[in-house]
Chains A and B, each alone.
Chain A
């Protein structure tokens, strides 16, 4: 039987983490060998030879105490900075990343490509292209873990979490749920298929297409009659959604926030949480009526809506009070 002792290295992060491992192991081995050798040497060299032996006490030396505090501390600061650097990289997906939505539930992974492909417990991705995952859970906390990519991110109900990676080597890699989630936690596994770009294109076109996410979202938008109020020209009782995504929005309580996925999700499920300035809290909640996947489709549809004609991309539409001077960072997640 084969005995692998090291995980495969198949993403942009894998070499970074492996190099950090070598440093950590190097420092550790040095200190472990030092301590073990000293203990062995002292224990044998100074073993007790008579029962009445009384060694002289040795007093502490401040210089020595400072030396063995400061030097290891310096070595650990390298560990800190190195690890933090990798972590920052992992926390900032590149702009051009291809986005995949992940919905976790007991005990399966549901993954949706922008183009409409849906997968369960499998994810096909092209090699060499950054992939950004936007994830949420329908029940307990799960965690998306791909050892070969050295990435892991908890998937938490009620909010979106993000991770990203670029696969570097074609192959089939384990996907694990790493946060304990109940009976079949150990069965909540799957495979990541990293493919050459042309193979990936072939897979995309060969796969079952359900229509793109945005198309499905549009259908859902019509089924739920959202357009009765959210009229595209802004004449409805509710704000127009055209060109909304990524813009800053003035709220009734005076805050200004950026319309990101979390804001859109919250507005669908808990519409009264953030009321747009100048509008009444009329919208009913869609909690329980739309699945997490449905929410993601609606978000994609809203994202696809271009700004209304006559208004330049990203500038101020009349319906929504935008305060460009007071652009604040994105709100905290609920």
Chain B
């Protein structure tokens, strides 16, 4: 499996980027971006997640199956959130309370 071993340089670069992104997300939180604050925060978190998964968890080198499993987890999380919020966000829209 030696072909899958990344260099120390790669790992260090990823590590430094991760630290930088932590700094950025903290700093950006103090800037008024309205509704975009959440979007930016989650976007940075997602980038960090991808960096950790792709490099530290070797997902770049793993099988399609493993990648599919990881994608499946997030698809299911999305399903759970989307359908529950579909209820929460449309309550009362017909103009009747509790409907």
Seen from chain A, the residues whose Cβ lies within 8 Å of a Cβ on chain B are: 88, 91-93, 134-135, 153, 156, 159-162, 260-262, 329-333
Contacts and interface: CB of A to CB of B under 8 A. Distances in A.
Given A330-B92, A331-B92, A333-B92, A91 B99 contact: yes
22 contacts: A88-B94, A91-B96, A92-B95, A92-B96, A93-B96, A159-B97, A160-B97, A160-B98, A161-B98, A161-B99, A162-B98, A261-B97, A262-B97, A329-B92, A329-B93, A329-B95, A330-B95, A331-B92, A332-B88, A332-B91, A332-B92, A333-B92
B89 interface: yes
B90 to A, nearest CB: 8
B97 A333 contact: yes
Contacts, number: 43
B83 to A, nearest CB: 16
A333 B91 contact: yes
A329 to B, nearest CB: 6
Contacts of B97: 134, 159-162, 260-262, 330, 333
A332 B98 contact: no
A333 B96 contact: no
Contacts of A153: 98
Contacts of B93: 329-330
Interface string B67-99: 000000000000000000000110111111111
Classify chain B's interface size.
Answer: 10 to 19
A155 to B, nearest CB: 9
Interface of B: 88-89, 91-99
Given A153-B98, A330-B93, A332-B92, 17 more contacts: A88-B94, A92-B95, A92-B96, A93-B96, A156-B98, A159-B97, A160-B98, A162-B97, A162-B98, A162-B99, A329-B92, A329-B95, A330-B92, A332-B89, A333-B91, A333-B92, A333-B97
A330 B91 CA distance: 9
Contacts of B96: 91-93, 162
Nearest to B87: A332
A83 B88 CA distance: 22
A79 B93 CA distance: 24
A332 to B, nearest CB: 5
Contact of B98 (A92, A159, A329, A331): A159
Contacts of B95: 92, 329-330
Contacts of A329: 92-93, 95
A155 B96 CA distance: 14
Nearest to B90: A332
B2 to A, nearest CB: 48
Contacts of A331: 92
